[in-house]
Structure 1
Amino acid sequence: MVEPARSLACAGSDPSRSAARGLYHGAVPQVPPTERRRRLLRAVERHSGALAAAALAIVTAIGTLRYHAVHAGDPGHLRVVVLGVLLTAGSAATAVLPRRARVREPAAVTLALVAVVLVLVAPSAAWSVVPLVVLLQTTVRVVPATLASGAAIVAAAASVPRLTGSHDPGLVAGCLLAGLVFLAAIVLSRSALRERSTSVRQLVATRARLVDSERRASALGERQHVAAELHDTVLQSVAGVLLLTEAAERSGDDGLARDARRALRSAVAQTRTLVDDLGSGSDDEVDLASDSAEAAARVGAGWSTTGEPQPLSPLRALALLRTAQGALGNAERHADATTITLELRYGADSVVIVVSDDGVGFDVEAEVVAGPDGGHGLAIMRRRLAAVGGALDVRSDDHGTVLTATVPVAER
């Protein structure tokens, strides 16, 4: 009868409405059981010393009250009660001490001594050894804790004949062995917890180093990106303006001076565009065909295209375009060429840009020395293409230079 009623109640309620009412009235989302258990275990581990001290105080208090009720008036009764009260009060005081208080360790060792004496004079107090061992192992350093725990276990095993009235060595040996096994388990658990804490600290430190390394790598990548953009846009235009200005000064040609002013305005416009792009963080779409044709026309180079156009990611298209602009600028300024061509080739798996000239060429293997108008162009081109999975090939001799830039169509 209960199950149908529960089913009807469930069927008549709307879970979404119930959840909404709970949120509306400020209900706190429940913590998953696994997380609750994890928090509970962490709390128990953090306060294990205090819990053990509290357990020792409770066990000792109960034992002392029972001893007083049963053995009142016996010889030595007062001595046992005084030791029990001292152990109970000391355990309670240790339980409320701060975790990192310096007196906790000497207090725990003192409690162990009192407990050993109490067990020797009153065998029924042997039960206090269990929480005492836990207290020592969670509060005192390993070696003194193990020695004090062993002494308490030996005292408890030695009191078994008086407690049971039997002098069977096997009974004493069994109690001693059980106590030592319990002590070994506690010591091993303590060692495992210490190793785990060390591993966690190492993992946290490693993660912090990785985060710092990623931050540095990101900053370096941003600097390299800005350097490449400046080289492939502003520096190329300013270098062209410099050439036109020098030619105008030598010839006195007003037309060249006008070209220089026009080129300088273009450089200023490119600079503004670059600053706006870097500030906004936007990646504009690149029309590789028209933009590369415009770059070729700017330096009077021939332009052609072959193959069926393939869609490229904006980063790869931009990498090819910047490489083409840099190569055209280098050919115009340094090659002393009569003919410069740019060819855009679309393939099934890749897109290729080839910039060639019939100039004087240069030694590709020689180290490039930076000059006032640049000199890091090839390194920037290689780095930019490698970042998008592409490659750069440069061949040069006395009859000219051929620069080939390739990027894959598909994502890698």
Structure 2
Amino acid sequence: MKKRRKVLSVMLCAAMVASLAACGSKDDSKKSEDKDGKIKLTFSTSVYVEEPHQKAIDALLEAYSKKEPNVDIEILGAGYDGYWDNITTEILSNNESDMIQVYPENISTYNAIREGGTFMDLSEYMSDDLKKKLVGQEMCDVDGQTLAISSYAWGTTGIFYRKSMLKEAGVNPDDIKTQEDFREACKKFTSKDKYAMGVVSGTHAFTVSEWNRLIARPVSNGLYFPNGESEPYTADNVNINAPENVWAAQWWQDFILKDKAAKLVTDKKDSREMFWNGDVPFNMDGPWFVGMCKERDESMMDDIGIIPQFDVVYNGKAYKPNPTNYPLVTMISKNCKHPKEAYAFLEWMTTDEAQKIIADCGMIPSNTDYSTSDEYIKNHELEHKIVEFMQNNYTDLVADPNISQLGEISQIMLDAAQKMFSEQAADVQTEMDSAQKQVEDVMSRDAE
């Protein structure tokens, strides 16, 4: 499961807009009616290339076609890496899909491409009661408009562990309450060429996000901007080298390089392989990891448990985890010829009938009525632990800032993290100060 997403910094010149807009209207594959008179809708998503999502989405379409035989929905979208560029190109040429699935922090970027906004305000369609039930729905409001519906699924992270390894080492997972408890538990597994977990260090966004989710954001409540990555998004409000973030970066560097608790790997799949092979006892992941484990070797499932992310104690105060929420949300284009029918499909996805199907995608269904039901808990006991974590252990989950500059400032932070969290062991204060200045320059430039 792709847990992070590339957010493009869309800088569009008028000439480019004019030339692409001149390409014409929707192509034949996106006509609003089939030859047999059925209403045709198109749905773009980045996750259809992944087998669990493909299976779930195909089952959704099959079920909906029986309910609404006069509506034909076609799935579009490139693989993950090409998906985001394609959306930009299609919006510029007025050729985007009727429904486009993204993550909440992507909404503003793509809505701003077209003057006056690319997507419909769904406020007139959605009831307040439905909004309250959908995880991540509050993240879909931009400038007073509801531009997306969280009708598919979501995920956040916990810490998976191998029961047998912890038992042998005399570690009780229920005793891991803080980052220092976790560090002490990890030390029981560290020796020559032995580690407690894998940590990504390289060009992948996990180099920032794992440290950010576990240690930094809980104490600073914002790696880029304070107060939950909220406005104002200005140069004088950049938060990178705040004392809390610097302390968190030093703790993570020490955990990796001094404690030698984590093995540096270049890709998350390596961390997972180490966990599956019994080389390490811990792996931080989301609910999708349950399905991955079953697919890898169902016999190991009895040996796998999960605990919430721990509290982080800083200067004598305990801070609850606020890991990122990962809901997939869907927008409806203003160019959609059948918006009522498009919304009807997206709202149907929130029903128990559809949410039961969605549960097989590996993420957690978005409607809390279903994800807390006896049926879901019975069939998805381990995944439901993460629902419990969000309700009982985590404070408000924090996402990256929903701004067009996110791609650029994320790269700056990634460059700094590569230097800090590698054998290079660059000075933490120096790198955080440098990243602070670079991000300030980006925000100042864009304010001019």
TM-score interval (norm. to shorter): under 0.3
TM-score, structure 2 as length reference? 0.17
Specify which structure has the higher proportion of helix: 1
Q: Which one scores higher on RCO, CA 8 angstroms, separation ≥ 6?
A: 2
